[in-house]
Amino acid sequence: MRLLNVIDVEATCWQGDPPPGMTNEIIEIGLTTIDADTWQRVAKHQLLVRPERSEISAFCTELTGLTAATVSAGVSFAEACKLLTSQYGAAERAWMSWGDYDRKQFERQCAATGVAYPFGPMHVNAKARFSEVRGLKRRPGMARALEIAGLPLEGRHHSGADDAWNIGALVVQLSAESFPEV
């Protein structure tokens, strides 16, 4: 069975710029596993990550539903990256995200903390591929893409686990012809 990972992260955020001394940090990693032989979503996972260099704002809680108390039960960013590798095959599997934000956030946070980047070289920007296959000039957000595709938004928008699941539905609908590199 060939598996691929769909990743969606939520990070600390504020209404406007981060407060002095704080920076955006991953607080949730949503992961949906897709069987690339059958093009079916086979698993949905959530990793909560404790922020180390920022706090969760009221704006962030309103957007994501995540509170400081919720993520305080999570793992460190270093441990989350180890789990991505050991439990979810991140270094070996192709992975996708909706746009490049998730990939770049991992790159930034790994560089800033000295944590090894958990993913292999095969990243696919599902947003770009969806737009290309559909002939769209403007790349839609995930919620709009679901509308275009005639798919329901399942769960809470801006929940990493739910968003990864929804992006997985878009990937499955596009299927193998749209992802020859996987």
d(CA 180, CA 178): 6
Q: Identify the DSSP state of 158.
A: T
Per-residue pLDDT at 181: 75
- Quick: pLDDT tens for 103-151: 999 999 999 999 999 999 999 999 999 999 999 999 999 999 999 999 9
**Sheet of 3-11: strands edge to edge?**
40-48, 26-35, 3-11, 95-97, 123-125
- HEC-encoded secondary structure of 57-88: CHHHHHHHCCCHHHHHCCECHHHHHHHHHHHH
Q: Identify the DSSP state of 43.
A: E
Q: Identify the DSSP state of 137.
A: S
d(CA 161, CA 176): 23
Task: Count Cβ atoms below 10 Å from residue 91 Cβ, excluding itself.
Answer: 15
- Say yes or no to pLDDT of 161 above 70: yes
d(CA 21, CA 138): 35
pLDDT band for position 176 (cuts 50, 70, 90): low
- One-letter identity of residue 136: L
Q: Which whole number is the average pLDDT over 74-81?
A: 98
- Give me the domains of the chain, ranges plus CATH numbers: 3-178 (3.30.420.10)
